[in-house]
Amino acid sequence: MRLRNLLKIALKSLTKNRMRSLLTSLGVIIGVGAVIVMIAIGQGAQADIEQQITALGANMVMVFPGSSWSHGVSQGAGSRNRLTLDDAEAIRERATLVTAVSAEVRVSAQVIGGDSNWSTSIQGVDPEYQEVRDWSTVAGEFFTARDVRAKAKVAVLGKTVADNLFPGSDPVGERIRIRNTPFKVIGVLESKGQSAYGSDRDDVVMVPATTALYRLSGGRYINRIFVSAVSTEASKATEDELIAILREEHSLEPGEDDDFRVRSQAEFLETATETSRVMTLLLGAVAAVSLVVGGIGIMNIMLVSVTERTREIGIRLAVGARASDVLVQFLTEAIVLALVGGLVGILLAIGVSVFLDRVIGMTAIISPGIVALAFCFSGAVGVFFGYYPARKAARLNPIDALRYE
């Protein structure tokens, strides 16, 4: 009965002082809402980046020639270039943690076909490249291992090249010339759009690695080796395996530096995740400011009303309220305001996040931990500033509380 009376008193007091109640909850709402939305945006961006990189194949491992980007300052790509088709072959034969291997030879060239010509990047690869990069053809087909062995003069066009050389018609079966060598178009690749760095991934012509090396570039060395590890978890072990195989291939003595570099997509992922974590942290700092601003709002409105409330406490004490009765009332008021404000803030944040997600197309991920944190902080500020002045007043003589100004 008594507790029910006290709760009744608290709720009545809240509805009686609507403006004060509203302003107090507003502080909590701003604090909670802003923090949740900020962090949701940060984590959304992080997830976006991770997803983009994972889409490239999280189990992909790449071998680069041993130019010195390992030492920070580039000494020129390929300055110690010692990656060959034999290396790719050795990996294919001996690596156990690998499901697909493809060499990559890159040549820039003018392609003549149809009635026009087009400058593009020629990529000499193996058929397994399709598996490693998860890149299929939409027309015709990709070349085979036999084409590679035969250095066949066949080409698969990227979407951009196909559209430019053969607008409106099917390029499969057509003839093109690359550096004066005739090629037969046997397929068209599906469109991949822009890369993470903004270049057009469809502006490419794929030919067998051997063809590119012996008929187009005329060199000995290849640019990269792409490897698919059996799983993402195995990518570190795969790296070690590749290093062992290549060191043996290159007859490197123990203690001698690698003349190649191995990097897994998982490492890229780590770097990118690290970057976006920094961003989330930054947004978090902004959010923390909102929390503090919200907290100050709560504090202000509570302190402004302290005179009026002290007199109110005096009246209550004078008619027989115990100090503990007054405290229960004020604590209840503060908790109710903090809870209501917190819930509204959370709902608002969810609304804004959904809006960003659906309408603006930004990824926003609400994390329960942050929701709890924001809720607890603003709640604590609300309760502290609602309760602490009341505690001081409730300890006064009734007459001193009545006289307070």
Chain residues in the site for other proteins (CB under 8 A): 1-2, 5-6, 8-9, 12, 16-17, 311-312, 314-325, 397-400, 402
State how far Cα 246 lies from the chain centre: 33
Give the DSSP H or E segment for 3. Answer: helix 2-16
Residues 295, 27 contacting (CB under 8 angstroms)? yes
Cα separation, 301 vs 298, whole angstroms: 5
Please say which residue, 277 or 311, places its beta carbon nearer to other proteins: 311
Question: At closest approach, how far in Å is the CB of 12 from other proteins?
Answer: 7
293: left (phi over 0), alpha (psi -120 to 50) or beta: alpha
User: Which residues share a beta bridge with 117?
Assistant: 112
**Radius of gyration over every alpha carbon of the chain, rounded to an integer in angstroms:** 34
Question: At closest approach, how far in Å is the CB of 385 from other proteins?
Answer: 22
Please say which residue, 23 or 34, places its beta carbon nearer to other proteins: 23
Please say which residue, 201 or 309, places its beta carbon nearer to other proteins: 309
Question: At closest approach, how far in Å is the CB of 305 from other proteins?
Answer: 12
Question: At closest approach, how far in Å is the CB of 13 from other proteins?
Answer: 9
Write out the two tokens for 276. 């976006």
Question: At closest approach, how far in Å is the CB of 327 from other proteins?
Answer: 13
Please say which residue, 2 or 71, places its beta carbon nearer to other proteins: 2
Cα separation, 329 vs 249, whole angstroms: 81
Please say which residue, 148 or 401, places its beta carbon nearer to other proteins: 401
Please say which residue, 289 or 304, places its beta carbon nearer to other proteins: 304
137 in helix, strand or coil? strand
Contacts of 117 (CB under 8 A, 6+ apart): 110, 111, 165
Question: At closest approach, how far in Å is the CB of 333 from other proteins?
Answer: 14
Write out the two tokens for 76. 């020129």
Question: At closest approach, how far in Å is the CB of 350 from other proteins?
Answer: 35
Please say which residue, 318 or 347, places its beta carbon nearer to other proteins: 318
Cα separation, 212 vs 143, whole angstroms: 13
Question: At closest approach, how far in Å is the CB of 319 from other proteins?
Answer: 4
State how far Cα 170 lies from the chain centre: 38
Please say which residue, 241 or 312, places its beta carbon nearer to other proteins: 312
Cα separation, 10 vs 177, whole angstroms: 86
Contacts of 23 (CB under 8 A, 6+ apart): 297, 301
Across 4-126, the runs of DSSP E, i.e. the strands, are 60-65, 98-113, 116-125
